[in-house]
Amino acid sequence: MESFVIYLIKVNVALIVLYTFYKLSFSKDTFFRLRRMMLLLICVTSFVYPFIDFPVWADWGNHPVGETLAVVYAKILPEVSVHAFSTFSGAENIRWTVDTYLWMIYGIGIALLILRTTFEMFKMHTLLLRSSHCFLNGTYVYQSVEIDEPYSFFHWIFINPARHSDKEISEILIHERTHMREFHSLDILLAQLIIILCWFNPFAWLIRSEIRMNHEYLADKQVITLGHDKKSYQYHLLGMEHSSLAAANIYNNFSVLPLKKRIKMLNKKRTSNIMLSKYLMFIPVVALLVLFSNCANKAESGMSTGEVKKDSSAVVKIDDRNHNTKEMAEMSKAKADEVKNDSTIHDIVENMPVFPGGQSALLAYLGENIEYPTNAKEKGVQGRVVVEFVVGKDGSISEAKIARSVDPYLDKEALRVINKMPKWEPGTNKGKPVNVKFTVPVIFRLR
Please write the tens of the pLDDT for every residue from 361-383: 888 888 888 888 888 888 888 88
For the chain, give percent helix, strand, coil, nearest 5: 60, 15, 25
**Per-residue pLDDT band at 97 (split at 50, 70, 90):** low
Length of the chain (residues):
447
pLDDT at 347: 82
State the pLDDT at residue 443.
83
Q: What's the confidence (pLDDT) of residue 204?
A: 96
Question: Which of the residue ranges 125-129, 151-155, 308-312, 323-327 would you say has the lowest mean pLDDT?
Answer: 308-312
pTM: predicted TM-score of the whole model, two decimal places: 0.64
> In the structure, what pLDDT confidence band is assigned to residue 1 with cuts at 50, 70 and 90?
low
Residue 83 has pLDDT above 80, yes or no: no
Q: Average of pLDDT values for 384-389?
A: 90
The dihedral over CA atoms of 58, 61, 63, 67, expressed in degrees to the nearest 10, equals 60
Half-sphere exposure of 438 (CA within 13 A, CB side): 26
In the predicted model, is pLDDT for residue 312 greater than 50?
no
What is the C-alpha separation between 226 and 236, in angstroms, rounded?
A: 16
List the chain domain ranges.
2-116+177-235+260-291, 312-444
Between CA 262 and CA 267, with CA 264 as vertex, the angle to 5 degrees is: 110
Q: What whole-number percentage of the chain has pLDDT above 90? A: 40
User: What sign does the CA torsion over 192, 193, 194, 196 have?
Assistant: positive
Angstrom distance (rounded) from CA 273 to CA 282? 17
What proportion of the chain, given as a percentage, has pLDDT over 70?
A: 76
CB-based contacts of 146, cutoff 8 Å, min separation 6: 127, 130, 131, 160
Topology of domain 312-444, CATH: TolA/TonB C-terminal domain (3.30.2420)
Task: State pLDDT tens for residues 412-421.
Answer: 999 999 999 9
- d(CA 247, CA 212) in angstroms, rounded, equals 8
Q: Report which of 207, 206, 300 is spatially closest to residue 7, judged by C-alpha positions.
A: 300
Measured CA to CA, the distance from residue 146 to residue 421 in angstroms comes to 74
**Is residue 93 pLDDT above 50, yes or no?**
no
Q: pLDDT at position 41, please?
A: 96
Q: What digits encode the pLDDT tens for the residues 122-138?
A: 999 999 999 998 999 88
Instruction: Identify any residues that bridge with 158 across adjacent strands, giving them in sequence order.
Output: 142, 151
